[in-house]
Structure 1
Amino acid sequence: MTSPTPPAEPPYADRTYRSGAGLVSGALLLALICLIGGDAVFRGEGWTPWVALAALLALIPLVAAFTLRPAVYANEERLRIRNPFRTIELPWTDVADIRATYSSEVFTREGAKYQLWAVPVSLRERKKAARQAGRASQDDPFGRTSVHADVRDTGARAAVADRAVAELRELSERTEGREAAERGATTASVRWAYEVIAPVVVGVLLLAVLLAVG
């Protein structure tokens, strides 16, 4: 009796990109909002608890949308971008270019542009990486440091956003050889995050009404 054939291994593992600083700052900010808002709800008098509840309803999903929600997922077939208020799915055949200047952006073949909120660009980090690369190249004219570490590959010293964009661009370039017919078989899809938008809108409206009445 022969054992079943194991499934073929994917050419590379699925990749996820998120901002570590955004996750940490978002968690701390949400904890602070809940602490202040909870105190107003349980200890406030008159309209204060209701105003605090309306503010919490608007602020919590808004802060989470800009800090905890952003993510970029890349697999063998497509790129999925989860931004604060919408999710964009792009097959690699529809991706024309991925750039990181002042922000990380992906461009489609139809001319659309989408920002990668989960891959923020830090100019300070980029300058620091450039200085480190410059010092390393001057350490040894033959491209070797005093401890024999190879410095010709600057990927390890590049800024986080630049490394992420370089990896995504490499994945995108693997589909350049596909036929045009395959390229037109799938298109980009955009889904708005109503689970985030709805509570924010309701909270803002309630807050406006309560402040007007009070």
Structure 2
Amino acid sequence: MTTPDHPSPASPPPVSAAKDRIYRSPLGLAGGVLLLLVVLWLGFDALVKGHGRTPWLALAGMILIVPLVIAFTLRPAVFAGEDRLRVRNPFRVVTLPWGEVAALRSGYSNEVVAKTGTKYQLWAIPVSLRARKKAARRQQRAAADAARGVTPGGGSSALGPGGSGLGGFGLGGFGLRVPDTGPTRADTDKAMDELRELLERQGETEPAQGEVTVRWAYEVAAPAVAGAVLLAILLAVG
């Protein structure tokens, strides 16, 4: 029993939930910004300097194109929390509790598979076959260097050609090979590995259970449809 002379200790503050990990495509973001600048520049130029139907066509074109550019470049993102995976694709948002995720697959595209068998593509984590091949070559080269006793700094534990002796013909004629310090795994594959770790760790926990929800992005689709309709009417009227 607590008394006024011996007050109970203060309860610890509640632990805040961990922030979601956010995955986005840097190339997609850069490309989207560039496309938007070009579209807006051409569109506003036509609005200001155009004659006749040109300003109206430019306006309809911008209403159609701008939402589509945003949808396919700036909008895609994957939010990975402790309890669920939220996938924001161009025209819909899919929320999957970890308990409802059956697998995360990587092939020619990255996708999440729900336990119902439904597949959802991860637009924000595109597969780069070129980056994957480069990473695989670095991994093979690192394994071959380790088998030959080459040190990580690019030297070798043996003298002779390719080593640090007089018979080598490498960097500067001293037998030193330029080290390849690039990643041995593609960035998108690393992101998928992190998601798989979260799935393995959180999939069976009680807070990670629930139902899969899908919400369509009407805020993106509606302006694009309006722009398409307006453009079709202008072209039909002539």
| TM-score when normalising by structure 1 | 0.88
Structure 1 residue identity aligned to 2:200: E
Alignment of structure 1 residues 135-174 onto 2, 5 Å: 135-141=141-147, 145-147=151-153, 156-174=183-201
Q: Which residue of the partner structure matches residue 15 of structure 2?
A: 8
Once residues 160 and 98 of structure 1 are traced to their aligned partners in structure 2, the CA distance between those partners, rounded to angstroms, is 16
Relative to its length, the structure with more helix (as a share) is 1
Q: Which residue of the partner structure matches residue 200 of structure 1?
A: 224
**Helix, strand or coil: the match of 1:141?**
helix
1:175 to 202, 206, 217: 202
Measured after TM superposition, the shift of residue 8 of structure 1 is 2.6
Structure 1 residue runs of 5 or longer lacking an equivalent are 149-155
Q: 2:200 matched to 1:189?
A: no
Structure 2 residue identity aligned to 1:159: A
Conserved 8 A contact 2:101-2:203? no
- CA-based RMSD of the aligned residues comes to 2.3
Q: Which residue of the partner structure matches residue 50 of structure 2?
A: 44
**Helix, strand or coil: the match of 2:47?**
helix
Q: 2:121 matched to 1:119?
A: no
Once residues 13 and 63 of structure 1 are traced to their aligned partners in structure 2, the CA distance between those partners, rounded to angstroms, is 28
Structure 2 residue runs of 5 or longer lacking an equivalent are 1-6, 155-182
Structure 1 residue identity aligned to 2:152: S
Conserved 8 A contact 1:121-1:161? yes
| TM-score when normalising by structure 2 | 0.80
Q: In terms of Rg, which structure is larger?
A: 2
1:72 to 64, 69, 78: 78
What is the percent sequence identity of the aligned residues? 53
Conserved 8 A contact 1:98-1:165? yes
Once residues 149 and 117 of structure 2 are traced to their aligned partners in structure 1, the CA distance between those partners, rounded to angstroms, is 41
Structure 2 residue identity aligned to 1:107: V
